[in-house]
Amino acid sequence: MAKKVAISIGDLNGIGIEIALKAHKRVVKIVEPLYIIDRLMLKQASELLGVKVPKDFKTVSPDDMPFNIKPGRVSKKSGAYSFASFKKAIELAKKGKADAICTLPINKEAWSKAGIKYKGHTEVLRAEFKKDAIMMLGCPKMYVALFTEHIPLKEVPKQIKSKKLTRFLLDLQKSLKTGEKIAVLALNPHAGDGGVLGDEESKIVKAIKKADKVLGKEQFIGPIVPDIAFTPHFRKQFKYFVAMYHDQGLAPLKALHFDESINVSLNLPILRTSVDHGTAFDIAYKGKSVNIKSYLNAIEYIVSD
């Protein structure tokens, strides 16, 4: 039996609904999608796009009012609607009416205009489940888990504490259920050069040793010098990497696999996957070709989990 996947529709002023409609024929061959959008909004979007809604396009209405779509615009109403769509997807998953969640792109500024206190999907999931959700991005060729996420760079060193990192590493391994070795990046250039360029690496080493001891095997390798971690030599050895901060991991990932990478929320009672791109307001509803590879990869990760 195909897995039921609640698909939050994202910001309707962006490309999310076009991706959902364009990819639907391929998605229904993989999972049973439940799109969180009401029929009035779906009709409005399809007419703007000039496409027909497939007869088997199953929908569930979110708890929010329909509004007038304004392609490419940051809107309080579209922000509120995308948040309501995501909340309904979570509700379905909690009630066992969906096996997983897949999210289409939101606009953080629109959420802010709507008075939503969260910066993104992952923060909502942490609050809903009271769990330390782990943000991992990538594609079948390479995945990067982020130890810290959307915080100022100057705050990152303060967050690197051996106990906290040990817990993160153990939670990651438990979520991935993999026997593959996982590469852990250093924070500083040259991995600190023995303390000359920083001493955070001593805490990373301690966390790696502690996590491996708990697991009873050598699971984590590092700290690896950041500027060589994503070279072909290391990518042949490792599929999974742990980055100490957002851009350390995502800059190389997007340089290598921009069109195909996805976002996965781990260490939760439910699985959530997402496209790893934004709302693309600049091309929304303009008849330009949208890339559905990231979305399809997000769906396929669910059935491979």
CA distance 128 to 121: 11
Domain 1-133+268-305 matching CATH 3.40.50.300: the answer reads no
pTM, whole model, 2 decimals?
A: 0.92
pLDDT (average), residues 164-186: 96
| 134-267, CATH topology level | Isopropylmalate Dehydrogenase (3.40.718)
**Residue 305: pLDDT above 80?**
no
pLDDT category, 289, cuts 50, 70, 90?
confident
- Helix, strand, coil share (%) of the chain residues, nearest 5: 45, 15, 40
Arithmetic mean of pLDDT over the chain: 96
**Residue 224: pLDDT above 80?**
yes
pLDDT computed for residue 44 by the predictor: 98
Parallel/antiparallel/unpaired status of strands 182-185 and 240-243: parallel
CA distance 263 to 150: 14
CA distance 137 to 128: 21
CATH 3.40.718.10 domain locations along the chain:
1-133+268-305, 134-267
Contacts of 70 (CB under 8 A, 6+ apart): 13, 78
pLDDT computed for residue 1 by the predictor: 80
pLDDT (average), residues 148-160: 95
**Residue 230: pLDDT above 90?**
yes
pLDDT (average), residues 23-51: 97
**Residue 208: pLDDT above 90?**
yes
Alpha helices in 95-150 (DSSP H): 108-113, 121-129
% the chain with pLDDT above 90: 94
Q: What angle in degrees, to the nearest 10, is found between the helix axes of 16-27 and 293-304?
A: 50
Q: What is the pLDDT of residues 256-276, one digit of tens each?
A: 998 899 999 999 999 999 999
pLDDT category, 119, cuts 50, 70, 90?
confident
**Residue 117: pLDDT above 90?**
yes
